[in-house]
Amino acid sequence: MDPRDMATGVVGAVVTTLAIALAPTLPGCSLPEREVYVQEPIPVPPRPDVPTVSAEDLDCLSDDAYRDLAERDAVMEAHIWRLESLLQTTHDGDTE
C-alpha cells in the first residue's frame, strides 16, 4: 500500500472528526435557545366559614332529604379537596 494513500485516509478521518466535533460550536449552526416557562405558585384561598346546622334544625327533614343533604356536602367537600390539591401542585412540594 502506498504511504501517501494511508496518510490521505488518516488526514481525512481527522478532518471529518474535527468537522463533526466543531460543527455545533459554529455561529449560526447551533440550536436556538429554548424558552422555559416556570409555574408560579398559585395561592390556595382560605376556606369560607360556613354556618353549622344543628340536629334539631334537621329534624323536620325526611330521611331522603337528609341523605341528599349529606351526600351534597360530601360531594362538595371532595370537590374542594381536589381543587386545593391541584393548586398545591404549583407549590414545589410545600404544604400549608
Distances (CA, A) of 58 to 48, 67, 69, 77, 96: 22, 11, 10, 20, 34
Give residue-wise pLDDT tens across range 28-66: 656 778 888 888 899 999 998 989 999 899 999 999 999
Instruction: Please name the residues in contact with 2: beta carbons below 8 A apart, sequence gap of 6 or more.
Output: none
Q: Indicate the pTM of the whole model.
A: 0.54
User: What pLDDT band is residue 18 in, cutting at 50, 70 and 90?
Assistant: confident
Show the CA angle centred on residue 86, arms to residues 83 and 91, nearest 5°.
130
d(CA 66, CA 55): 10
The confidence score (pLDDT) of residue 44 equals 92
Question: Longest C-alpha distance within the chain, in Å?
Answer: 109
Average pLDDT, the chain: 82
Instruction: Please name the residues in contact with 14: beta carbons below 8 A apart, sequence gap of 6 or more.
Output: none
The confidence score (pLDDT) of residue 2 equals 64
User: What pLDDT band is residue 1 in, cutting at 50, 70 and 90?
Assistant: low
CA 82 centroid distance within chain: 16
Tell whether the model's pLDDT for residue 15 goes beyond 80. no
Tell whether the model's pLDDT for residue 11 goes beyond 70. yes
